[in-house]
Amino acid sequence: MRNILIIGAGRSASSLIEYLLNKSEAENLHITIGDLSPELARRKTKGHPRATAIAFDIFNEEQRHKEINRADIVISMLPASLHYEVAKDCIRFKKNMVTASYISPAMQDLDDEVKKNNLIFMNEIGLDPGIDHMSAMKVIDEIRSQGGRVILFESFCGGLVAPESDNNLWNYKFTWNPRNVVLAGQGGAAKFIQEGTYKYIPYNKLFRRTEFMEVEGYGRFEGYANRDSLKYRSVYGLDDALTLYRGTLRRVGFSKAWNMFIQLGMTDDSYIMENSESMSYRDYVNSFLPYHPTDSVELKMRHILKLDQDDIRWDKLVELDLFNPNKKVMLRDATPAQILEKILSDSWTLSPDDKDMIVMYHKFGYELNGEKKQIDSTMVCIGEDQTYTAMAKTVGLPVAMATLQILNGNIKTPGVQLPIYKEVYNPILKELEEFGVTFNEKHVPYMGYNPNNVAS
């Protein structure tokens, strides 16, 4: 029996574990699921006879060595910063490894050692990064096989709430780590290239520079730029592309409203607020507003944000219960961003029967036989409930499929890598279609970069 070790049983692991358990009889697998919470790991096994749940502490070196040595392949669903210790042990015990995380510089530095031991360390094989790489490279390789040259590539992805569960004014609920949502866009200017010119958007302007797009059957969306769109130029072989832009999707109106928090300083994670545990939500808001002897918090907020009475953004703020004097933050030594995350979680957490939605949108502009053409490719995936979300499906299934492909010897290329080669993306994209993860590709008139499609 072949043993797969999964480290981490969090929300993105649900569909991953279910897939491998469903395959366990036919593929002769045993799944060991390790998590700091053995109860969480146990719940994910659903009592399956080919699964074992264990309490697993990544910092317990003896246990880590024992479990990795026993495994035939290791899946790390840990936070990205913790993959390195697992990776070193996988080299030590000559085990292949799969993660959904971005390749860190430390992980990339292991490439020579991984190749020397003829191992495969597959990274960035979730949703974004992951399905975005595979679906993009499939079309890019097809264009090149016809003799075409890609001159424009734009890629957007968003974890959103499904239309049937969309019941707040923000048209948004948390489908992944809320902290990452609150801190999105920080840490340097967003950078990309558009029509041959390098562009940079500082954080304080990021959510006011959005691009609009329609997805058939699902309406209009807006996209804001990711931090570094240029890191994949060479990886995708697009060094001579005139436009390369990667962004995050939201429903129209979200970004303009989110920008209020940025302008007030509520997304700042660099300092601790005094007496945060005894602060009310209203106190929290007031701490960012100027003092006035008579004006209410609401009046000061309207004034500083220049909000008219009929501005929908005001209703969005009220909906979050931001001005409630009775709700307490109850977080000790908290940063503004941590408090904002808690407030938003009150309103934006998926209910048990809520469904989430993943939307991905690629634009490919290319030249073929002297003519400019364009392909638009879209994918929409709807979740089942609070546990088996579209996010868990689109992150977990590619990880599980890649693991099985490696275990069965179908993926052979050694090294620290991401899924940009045909031996990886062809079988996985094909199998994902069986689970409803399907791309709709259509040829449209070449638009290039359209400045009229961008919010000021």
Whether residue 397 lies inside any domain: the answer is no
Residue 427's pLDDT is 97
Domain end marker among 122, 151, 172: 122
Task: Report yes or no: 382 and 4 within 8 Å, Cβ to Cβ.
Answer: no
Whether residue 343 lies inside any domain: the answer is no
Whether residue 401 lies inside any domain: the answer is no
Do 279 and 247 share a structural domain? no
* CB atoms near residue 393 (< 10 Å): 27
Do 316 and 172 share a structural domain? no
320-354 pLDDT per residue, tens: 999 999 999 999 999 999 999 999 999 999 999 99
Whether residue 426 lies inside any domain: the answer is no
pTM value is 0.92
Residue 30 belongs to domain with CATH number = 3.40.50.720
Do 204 and 59 share a structural domain? no
Do 34 and 69 share a structural domain? yes
Of the pLDDT bands very low, low, confident and very high (cuts 50, 70, 90), residue 51 is very high
- CA within 13 Å, CB half, 4: 31
Q: How many domains does the chain have?
A: 3
Domain end marker among 68, 100, 122: 122
Q: How far is CA 427 from CA 138, 401, 423, in A?
A: 11, 9, 7
Domain end marker among 103, 122, 141: 122
Do 194 and 233 share a structural domain? yes
Do 197 and 85 share a structural domain? no
Whether residue 250 lies inside any domain: the answer is yes
What is d(CA 389, CA 398) in angstroms, rounded to the nearest whole number?
14
Do 358 and 234 share a structural domain? yes
Q: Nearest 5°: phi and psi at 254?
A: -65, -50
Of the pLDDT bands very low, low, confident and very high (cuts 50, 70, 90), residue 174 is very high
Whether residue 238 lies inside any domain: the answer is yes
15-42 pLDDT per residue, tens: 999 999 999 999 999 999 999 999 999 9
Do 187 and 234 share a structural domain? yes
Do 179 and 234 share a structural domain? yes
Res. 274: pLDDT tops 80? yes
Whether residue 404 lies inside any domain: the answer is no
214-270 pLDDT per residue, tens: 999 999 999 999 999 999 899 999 999 999 999 999 999 999 999 999 999 999 999
Whether residue 430 lies inside any domain: the answer is no
Do 58 and 86 share a structural domain? yes
Do 162 and 206 share a structural domain? yes
Residue 157 belongs to domain with CATH number = 3.30.360.10
Task: Report yes or no: 202 and 189 within 8 Å, Cβ to Cβ.
Answer: yes
Q: How far, rounded to the nearest angstrom, does the alpha carbon of residue 61 sit from its chain's CA centroid? A: 30
Range of the domain at 91: 2-122
Mention every residue, 6+ apart, whose C-beta is less than 8 A from residue 22. none
Do 11 and 116 share a structural domain? yes
Mention every residue, 6+ apart, whose C-beta is less than 8 A from residue 159. 127, 175, 176, 356, 357, 358, 390, 391
